[in-house]
Structure 1
Amino acid sequence: MDSTDHEILALLVEDGRMSFADIGRSIGITRASARERVQNLMGNGFIEKFTIVVNPGLLDKSVSAFFDVQVTAQAIVIVAETLANLKDVSSLYIMSDMCSLHMHVLVKDMGALEAFTHAHLFGHPDIVNIQCKMLMSRIKQRRGGPRI
């Protein structure tokens, strides 16, 4: 992977629908070369998939909460898989201490957040501690994976 591939990735992180011609014009290569490079990046696993960024507020999901959930070590994978399958969980990570999950939840309102916590977190035998922080304002949003 060279600097041209890095430039292509940066462009696609900003606009995954950018045409091969526009990519080529932006970095000084041909449309055919841009197409070939993008296909190689996909084939080699650098690009996993193309996706969109949705404005949750317009989808009636105005409450954004971040949870740090401490789980018994023997149950972390099972709890993580269960939570990851819930529609209100937008992202979930197993953290390096191997007993913590970091989870982002998007819901309609505070009542929905309370219902979520009661249904899926409180009283769970393998969850030993829960911390929740609410999003106040979004300053910078990650798009398309890590910046390269």
Structure 2
Amino acid sequence: MNNLAASAGTRPIDLDDTDHGIIALLRADGRMPYRAIARELGITEATVRARVRRLEESNTMRVVAVTDIEAAGYGMLLAIGVQVENRDPEAVATDLAAIAEVFSVNVVVGSHDIEILVVTEDAGSLSELLMATLGSVPGVRRLTPALAMDVLKNQPDWVPFHDA
């Protein structure tokens, strides 16, 4: 049996081969119907439904939709380092997180106070985003953008899931 620690407030649950099978199938296709999972694993649909509910309620697993940024119309992906001045980095990060084009915000230690990931449709919207939107957030001292030229790995379905 595997023991996977869940997030705070929930107890770890033991995972058996059925749980691992369900997780593997849902990682491959998060929209796979319970009936198809049941057929694939040789169990009942009710068992799949109960197991998925148990896995979700214990915070062991969560099925989420992931957007393909190119399919959504965004042609540019940027990592941007943000230096903060005269304001708490957490407050600046909160303001940055409210901007639609920003999809990841991290307060960090290093040459920047915050690192963000943003998407834009094209170079014109990039200029507008950098100068007018991000640059006008109170406390932003300097933006250091790095344009992704070739995305070699983007694994949105990756999670730290280890067999013990």
Report the TM-score when normalising by structure 1: 0.78
What is the alpha-carbon distance in structure 2 between the residues aligned to residue 86 and residue 31 of structure 1? 41
Question: 1:87-102 residue pairs with structure 2 within 5 A?
Answer: 87-95=100-108, 97=109, 100-102=113-115
Q: CA deviation at 1:49?
A: 5.0
More helix by share: 1
Q: Distance in 1 between matches of 2:69 and 2:81?
A: 21
Structure 2 Cα separation of the partners of residues 3 and 68 of structure 1: 43
Aligned-residue identity in percent: 27
Displacement of 1:22 in angstroms is: 2.6
Does residue 39 in structure 1 map to residue 34 in structure 2? no
Residue of structure 2 aligned with 1:24, choices 38, 44, 47: 38
Does the 8 Å contact 2:96/2:137 carry over to 1? Answer: no
1:136 aligns with 2:153: no
1:50 aligns with 2:64: yes
Query: Structure 1: which 4+ aligned runs deviate by more than 6 Å?
Result: none
C-alpha RMSD of matched pairs (Å): 2.7
TM-aligned CA deviation for residue 100 of structure 1: 2.5
- Residue 70 of structure 1 deviates from its aligned partner by 2.8
**Structure 1: which 5+ residue stretches go unaligned?**
none
- Given the two structures, how large is their TM-score scaled by the length of structure 2? 0.72
The residue type paired with residue 31 of structure 2 is R
Do 1:94 and 1:102's aligned partners in 2 also have CA atoms closer than 8 Å?
yes
- Paired residues of 2:30 and 2:64 also in contact (CA < 8 A): yes
Secondary structure at the counterpart of residue 67 of structure 1: strand
For 1:14, give the aligned amino acid: A
Number of residue pairs aligned between Structure 1 and Structure 2: 146
Q: Distance in 1 between matches of 2:84 and 2:23?
A: 36
**Contact 2:97-2:104 at 8 Å conserved across structures:** yes
Q: Can you list the C-alpha shifts for 1:32-91, whole angstroms capped at 9, x where unaligned?
A: 22211110111112334522x333223331011111223359512211111111111122
Structure 2 residue aligned with 1:103: 116
SS at match of 1:133: strand
Task: Sort the Cα spacing of 1:68 and 1:42 in 2 relative to 1 into closer, same or farther, 3 A.
Answer: same
Q: How far apart are the structure 1 equivalents of 2:105 and 2:31?
A: 26
Identify unmatched segments of 5+ residues in structure 2.
Answer: 1-13
C-alpha distance 84-123 of structure 1, shift in aligned 2 (>3 A)? closer
Q: Secondary structure in 1 aligned to 2:156?
A: coil
